Amino acid sequence: MICVRSNPCPAPQEDAWITSYQRLVPHWHSVSLSHQHSTISISISRVNQFDAARLDIEMSAMLKEQLVKVFSLMKPGMLFQYQPELNAFLEFLIWRFSIWVDKPTPGIAFMNLRYRDERAVALRGKVRTGLEGPGLTFAQKIWYCVSAVGGQYIWARLQSFSAFCRWGDSEERPLARRAWGLMQR
């Protein structure tokens, strides 16, 4: 019904909302029951995850550059000797003030992503955007630190040790030469 100024609309009956409600309740229940058991699959593009990781690397490099400027008055070469420790310290700080306190890393925050415990999400069921659900567990946070921060530190120390011991030039030690070749790939 179209209401015009010359022909005003009649006022609805007092119980009109009750009849509308009773007419629509079965439809609402059928819709809510059909969506109760269905889960919405959320797929996060791997490109977004790689971009977030790249942003984290770039931000770590910016922090490292600022920290190197602080130590610029020290003896040349001294900072190079402790570069793996410096990188591990910066990565630990990023981990401590992001993942440990249930916040995303800076790159992940820019990409509007977050870490979450997928096992707990599977138990709960309904997920709408991918941002809901519980964060990482205590063990997952610790393993992230051990693997990401500790793994990068061990890899950097192994590379500097192998360069110092000249594994690549070693003719009489084929195992060291092979290890050097694998590390350069």
- The per-residue DSSP string of 68-86 comes to HHHTTTSPTTHHHHTHHHH
> How many angstroms from the chain centroid is the CA of residue 134?
13
Quick check: 173 pLDDT over 80? no
CA-CA-CA-CA dihedral for 94, 99, 101, 106, to nearest 10: 60
Q: Which pLDDT value is given to residue 151? A: 92
Task: Indicate the number of domains in the chain.
Answer: 1
* Residue 138 banded pLDDT, cuts 50, 70, 90: very high
Domain presence at residue 152: yes
Mean pLDDT rounded to a whole number for the chain = 78
Domain contains 31 = no
**39 belongs to a structural domain:** no
Give the pLDDT confidence score for residue 176 in this predicted structure: 67
Distance CA 61, CA 73 (A): 20
Residue with tokens 């590390």: 183
- The string of pLDDT tens digits covering residues 65-111 is 998 888 888 887 778 888 899 899 999 999 999 999 988 888 888 88
- Domain membership of residue 64 (yes or no) is yes
24 is a domain residue: no
Residue 48 and residue 53: Cα distance in Å, rounded?
9
- The per-residue pLDDT for 120 is 72
Query: Residue 166: inside a domain, yes or no?
Result: no
Residue 178 lies in a domain: no
Q: What share of the chain is helix, strand, coil (3-state, %, to 5)?
A: 65, 0, 35
In a domain, 180, yes or no: no
In angstroms, rounded to a whole number, what is the distance separating the alpha carbons of residues 170 and 38?
61
What sign has the CA pseudo-torsion 156, 162, 163, 165?
positive
Could you report the per-residue pLDDT of 24-76, keeping only the tens digit for each? 888 777 776 655 555 555 566 778 888 988 999 999 999 889 988 888 888 87
Domain hosting residue 91, numbered range: 44-161
Contact 80, 88 (CB under 8 A): no
Positive/negative CA dihedral, 57, 62, 63, 65? positive
Q: Provide the whole-model pTM.
A: 0.64
pLDDT attached to residue 150: 94
